[in-house]
Amino acid sequence: MTQKTELECLQDIPNIDALAQNFTFIDDLTLRKNIAIVFQYIIFLITLEKNHSLPGAVSYVIYKDMIIHTASITESLLCYGLKKALEKGKTTIETMDIEENIYKDFIKIREISSTEIVGGVTKVKKYVEPQDMQFNDLIPAAIHIGLINPAFENELKIIRQSRNRVHLSSLSRVDNLYTKEEVDNMFATVKKLKTSIISYLN
């Protein structure tokens, strides 16, 4: 296969504005453009992988890179959907039902040792705003308000879990088992998510 030069590879990739056209439902122009930039980079990675004879491990890491960026798009779409749902008054923060507890006003009662103290605190329950949610919270919040179908949960979890493989120290196996099909399935999930968000917000 003829290998293309760097510049030829780049010339085959749609520009940011063209890619952003697929996300016009996002009225936050910064987010729309940032998503388009990530897609441009993903396409660049594919051209790189397709146009060069790369060692297997490098290809796996390219797939992994695509997974990580796909996860960041997924996370940002979920967050956007939730924020917009609140803004449009389609739901409430209570319906999202993602809570955190804050403990304050510690009062010391008794000291057991130099490392242990018995005391009392005021526990304050607070609902978490979408922009402060972790990926792990965004999925149930989206289900609670009906932004996504519960049957869709596992697909989103797969993306989140795959993204977490970025933490090398927590892996129990050699991290080289990514496939093109796995990555493309994630793109299918993003497409479904996009459709759900458009339908919910309209």
Binding site for other proteins (CB under 8 A): 6-7, 10-19, 21-25, 39-40, 42-43, 46, 50, 180-181, 183-185, 187-188, 190-191, 194, 198
> Which is closer to other proteins, CB of 10 or CB of 57?
10
Three-state SS sequence of 63-78: HHHHHHHHHHHHHHHH
CA angle 92, 102, 76 (to 5 degrees): 45
Contacts of 62 (CB under 8 A, 6+ apart): 45, 48, 49, 54
CA distance 187 to 184: 5
> Which is closer to other proteins, CB of 17 or CB of 116?
17
CA distance 135 to 140: 9
- Smallest gap, in angstroms, from Cβ of residue 20 to other proteins? 10
CA distance 11 to 178: 27
- Smallest gap, in angstroms, from Cβ of residue 23 to other proteins? 8
- Smallest gap, in angstroms, from Cβ of residue 164 to other proteins? 22
> Which is closer to other proteins, CB of 18 or CB of 102?
18
> Which is closer to other proteins, CB of 94 or CB of 181?
181
- Smallest gap, in angstroms, from Cβ of residue 96 to other proteins? 25
